Structure formats: C-alpha cells, structure tokens
Structure 1
C-alpha cells in the first residue's frame, strides 16, 4: 500500500510544472519581452509548432527545433527539458518499457544542472525553481514507475522544495494552478481510498476534490504550458474516478483530433468510445490502431494492440460473430504476451471467453487449457479467477 501512495504522490508532484503548448494566434513581433524565458510570448509563438510536433509523435521535427533553441539559449534549462518531455511521452505509451529511461534521465539531469546554476546565482529566480521542480518531479515519476521508492521519495522531496520557491510570481498563473489542482484532488482522494494513510495526510493542508476538478478545468482552458497535461489528467479522472465517461470522451476526442498520430490519445479515444457504447466507432479506431502497428508507425505497439484487439473482439461477440470474436481474442492474447501483460484484465477476460468458445465447440481439452491459464495469471480473489472456477464446476471441465 505504501508503495502505491508514494507513486501517487510522485505523480502529483511531477505534474506541477510540465511544459506544454497551445496554438498561438499572433506574430511574435507584437509580443512584449518578459524577464523570464518561459513567459516570452514571442518564444511561445516560435516553439508552438515544435511542441505540437512532439505531441503528434514527430520527435525528429520537434528535436530539430529544440536544437536551434539550445544554440540560442545555451545556459537555459528549457531546451533539454523539452527533449526530456519527448522521451517521457515515448515512455507513456507503455510505461513497462525501460528502453528510454537512461536518455530521459540524461536530459532531465542536464536541465536540472542548468536550472540549479541559475538558482544558485539568484534564489529569487522563480523560473529556475520552476524547472527544478519539474525536473525532479519527472525523475520521481519515472522512479515510482520503476518501483525505486527511495529514489522516488528523494526526487519528490526536492520537487516539493523547489515548488514552494517558485510560488509568488503572478505571471506564472494559471500554470502553477495545475499543482494546486492535483494537490486538492489527491490529498482528499488518498485518505478516501487508503484509510491507513489518513494520519499521514493529516500533516498536509486539507484538500478539496471538487475544487481540484474546477482548477483542472481552468488550467485546461486558460493555461499555455500546462494545458494539455491538465486535459490528460481530466480525461483520466473523469473516466475512472468521477464516473463521467462522456466528459472523458469529449476531451480524448479533442486530443486525438489535434494530435492524430499520438498513440496514447488514439488508444484513449477508442477506449472511451467503447465505454459509452459507441462500439462501431470504437471498432473503426481500433482497426486503425492495429493497422498502424502492422505498419510500424512510431509509438504504436503491443500495449495499444491489446486494447484495440479486445474492443474488436467484444463487438463481434455482441454481434454474434463468434469466428471474428475468437480471432481478435487470440490477437489480444498475442499482444498481451508481447507486452508481458498476462495479468491485465483484457488478457484474462480474453482467456475466459476463449475457454467458453472452445467449450461450445466441444473442445474440452482446449477449454481446460484456457481456464487453467486464467487461474495461473489471476490472483484467487480476482473476478476472472472466480468466474473460471465457477464455469469449470458448472460445466464439469
């Protein structure tokens, strides 16, 4: 339980100051200069295209522009941080894949070193503190995913320290509001879901989930740098915690439309279509995901394939097309094994359905094999394990 809480807190801290972008509408010549590079409207205009490329998984185009930025501002943490952000999104598609970890940490450390130099020269530099909070926050987020809890706690502690230093600069609002929003939401959510943590959370200021959601909506609408991250958290919270699937769908549809080659947004859009019962559209998007995996498109991999194949299988089962359902349940297993996700719900449910189909086809040996696999990968208290036991007993397998 403690490890789960550390991960939640690390994620919450890491989201304090992420660099995102929305469309700029005016030419840079009309923007007044700012004492902070992050608040330079001309720069925001110039890097919007690069950041949009990054979110659309055209990392090569984005990094060419970031390289120019690094030449223009060699001592500033922004260029390295933007490159690191791109590697985080490579990881986000499948957080179990560790191939990008070392590169992400390398760029985060470079950004942190430059921000630290700025901060050492002037502790009143809010921008330096901003990047230190973001850099350590992302390190904490990665370490929590890797279950490196000591490193995650150390990084989270540093992120919190510099988050406090970066407060007090009115110009940074509503960017800083994202941290407050996530704090308000999760500081109330954690004791609700983990009662044993209530004494620990009592040491923090009291949160307010409703206020947190309102603040996330404000950031998602009005912020420049943290807008997309706020939208990302909103659709996740609306889909899972708030039981507002249509709100989640609305946000994921916007993100997929804006960034059509982002596999995470694509997968989420298909999932939310499925959740609200718009199955033909979910199948259409899911087939597109599978086609992109087959074509080797950047970021489309087995984890997304597991989702997509399952939605297609479910649709065909509902339509009474058992042959197609069986085909895509088998694809779900194949993608699940490739991504080593045998304990996931989609994998386990696919095993269950394949076992039932095999039994209906009078192939009891195969049916037993599938149900045995369910019991192998699912914990005894898992609903799939219970359903497998009951089916075996009822059908005398």
Structure 2
C-alpha cells in the first residue's frame, strides 16, 4: 500500500452504492421517506432514483450508468453531482489496473468540472455544507490518483484541501456517516504509518494520534450506515483485513458480498477469487479463476491482463498442488504472459510464477531453461523480495 496515500485517503473517497443491504443497513422504507432538505445530496427521492444507476456503475455497465448521469446533468446543470458521478465511473475503469493511465485525463477533467461547480456554490454561500462535501471528495479523489502516479507534492496539496473542506462540511447531521470515512482512514493510517515507517514519525508528530482499532470500527460503521461512502468503506475494509490485519476470513466475508452484489465488477471478482485462494477454498477459487479467464477471452468490460495474472496464478498453484505439472506450467506461463502484457514484471504473482517455472524446469532436467527463469526473477525483483532470494538459492544449490 502506498505510504503517502494516507495524505489523501482520509479526504473523502467516492460515492457508495446507495441502497445496499450490509450488516445493519437501514430498511428500504427508511431510505425513500420523503424529507425536505436544502441539499440535493440528501434528497431521499433522488437517492432512490439513482440507486439503479450507481449499481450499474459498480457492476461495470457504464453505458447504462452514464446515460442516467447525463439525465441528472440535464436536470441539475449547475450542480457538481452529475460530473462527480461521471468521474467515479472513470475511476472504476482505472481501479481495475491503476498502472494504466489512459483514463487519467478524462477522470481529472470530470473532477475539475465538479469542483468548479462546487466552488461556485461555496462562493455564493460559504455555509453550504454540500459544496464543501463535494470539494472534499473531489480533492480527495484527485490526490488519490496523483499519489498512484507518484506526484507526491501535488497529492499532498490535494489531500490538504480535501481535509480543509471536510472540516468545513461538518455540522450537517446527515452528512456524518459519510464524513466518518475520512476520520476512520485517518485514525487507521496515522497509527499504521509510524509503525511501518519510523522515519516518518517526526512528520506525524504534527498530526493528532491515530487509533487503528477505532479506525476499523469506524469503517465497519460506515459500511453499515452510510449511503454515499458505503462501498468505499467496504473496499478499504477487505484490503486492510487481507493485508495489514491478517484476517483473511473477514476479507472474504466482504469481498464475497461485493462480488455477489456486483458480479460483473472485475476488481471485486478477482479479490473474491484471491480471498478464496488465501483461505484454501480451492475448488471455489478454481471456479472463479476459470470464469475470470473466460471473461477475458470473451472481452467483458474491465476484464484484462491484470485480472488474468491473478487468476492464472491461482490455477497454476492448484494444478501443481494436485500433481498436474503440465497444466501448472501452462497457467504459470499465462501468468507471466499476462504480467508482461500489463507491464507488471515487479508484481509478486509474476515473479513467483517464474520461480515455479524454474523449479519445474529443474525437476525436468532443463537446467538451462531454469537458469533463464531465475535470471529473469533477479532482473525484475528487488533483492529483498522473497522471489529474488528463492532464485538465488536455486542458482547456488544447483550450480546454474
């Protein structure tokens, strides 16, 4: 996880999915109760109307979602919501493979337009909590992408603006579940970063202390009660449970729900397959991985080499586990091919697939081929990476 993402993640991320049943979600009737609000964001009728559209976006039916977003833009031409929703649709295209920059410009253009409209609303009325909310979300998202692109100074500036507007948007009780996401991420990462990067402690001394346990509790609360930031909270929860918290079954619980709710979302699909693989539910992991590869071959929206690299590796592991060496080689080679297609040669699955191919080559007395695989690992892996260590050990032990 990027060290500097914390600068922007607590800004406010993206809109959640609307009327999702998760944990203790409010019943449908409570969501469609008529309630007069000065803010479009809190209009229950609009929330109910756009639920299907936002669901379509999360399910990668962008054509349906964006058509509906354009209708909202026609109805509310001066409001930032439509442009923000369009930006979200492009964020999800980016999320599938964040190394691919082809959607960056259009995503940032929609965010800038949303921010411009929010700024006009804010200039007209500095007490407008909704305008501040959108500015916090817009700058938070911009910073998030800039951090992925390693534009640290610009990311920090965007994160600072996100935090400023998040504070200004406080005071409207119904915004509180959405704003809690920012507090949750700050609480978690403000403690996590000095634990993992002690050199940053002097910088963090300027900020309030964090609390990882509280941060996770707040994320669960947002996942249960928020309307707009619910799915983003789930996204961070399963990532944190899977990697930092070492709670794979909790990660599986959430990714299973998300894949069931949005079965055509490739990011949720491959995350579900990964968590099945992690907990040893092999047959289900195989089934989902085979489906991912099938969808790539059929050209499903968002299914590409990055997802293929994950799925092929899980299948290679399974075939090797059951002693099917030829099929294991086939899937490891597909992992390598997908990794090179997406220029992900430094990724763990790519490197470990090469290690496995080298080991199989040794077992088949193809020492020259094995040496080629191990040399490629050493070329792309950092010296401290486990794959680099494994490659060095195999070369030394077998005198390659």
Which position in structure 1 is the counterpart of 2:141? 138
Give the superposition deviation at 1:362: 1.5
Per the alignment, residue 273 of structure 2 pairs with 270
Aligned to 2:41: 38
- What TM-score, normalized to structure 2? 0.96
1:22 is the counterpart of 2:25: no
Decide which of 381, 385, 389 is 2:388's aligned counterpart. Answer: 385
Displacement of 1:29: 7.6
Alignment match of 1:222 (pick from 222, 225, 228): 225
Partner of 1:313: 316
For residues 147 and 288 of structure 2, what CA distance do their matches in structure 1 show?
A: 31
Structure 1 Cα separation of the partners of residues 249 and 360 of structure 2: 32
DSSP 3-state at the match of 1:298: coil
Paired with 2:16 and 2:270, the residues of 1 have a C-alpha distance of 23
Kindly report which structure 2 residues correspond to 1:1-397, keeping only aligned pairs within 5 A, or say none. Answer: 4-15=2-13, 18-23=15-20, 25-26=28-29, 30-397=33-400
CA displacement at 1:222 relative to structure 2 = 1.1
Q: For the Cα contact (< 8 Å) 1:19–1:82, is it kept in 2?
A: no
Query: Contact 1:355 / 1:366 at 8 angstroms: preserved in 2?
Result: yes
SS at match of 2:11: helix
Q: Residue 216 of structure 1 contacts residue 234 of structure 1 at CA under 8 Å; is this kept in 2? A: yes
CA offset digits 1:32-91 (Å, max 9, x no partner): 221111111000000000000000000110011111101111100000000000100100
For 1:133-169, what per-residue CA distance to the aligned partner results, in whole angstroms no more than 9, with x for missing partners?
1111111111111111222122112111111111111
Q: Retained in 1: the 8 A contact 2:2–2:148?
A: no
Give the 3-state SS of the residue equivalent to 2:178 in structure 1: coil
Q: Which moved more, 1:369-378 or 1:126-135?
A: 369-378
Q: Deviation of residue 26 (structure 1)?
A: 4.1
* SS of 1:13 mapped into structure 2: coil
CA distance in 1, matches of 2:393, 2:61: 49
Structure 2 counterpart SS, 1:280: helix
**Runs of at least 5 residues in structure 1 that lack an aligned partner in the other structure:** none
Q: Which range moved further: 376-385 or 74-83?
A: 376-385
Per-residue CA deviations over 1:246-303 (Å, capped at 9, x if unaligned) read 0100100000000000000000000000000101110110000000000010000000
TM-score normalised by length of structure 1:
0.96
Corresponding residue SS for 2:301: coil
Shift of 1:4: 4.7
Residues 16 and 231 of structure 2 are in contact (CA less than 8 Å); yes or no, is this contact kept in structure 1?
no
Q: Which residue of 1 aligns with 2:23?
A: none
Report the number of matched residues.
Answer: 394
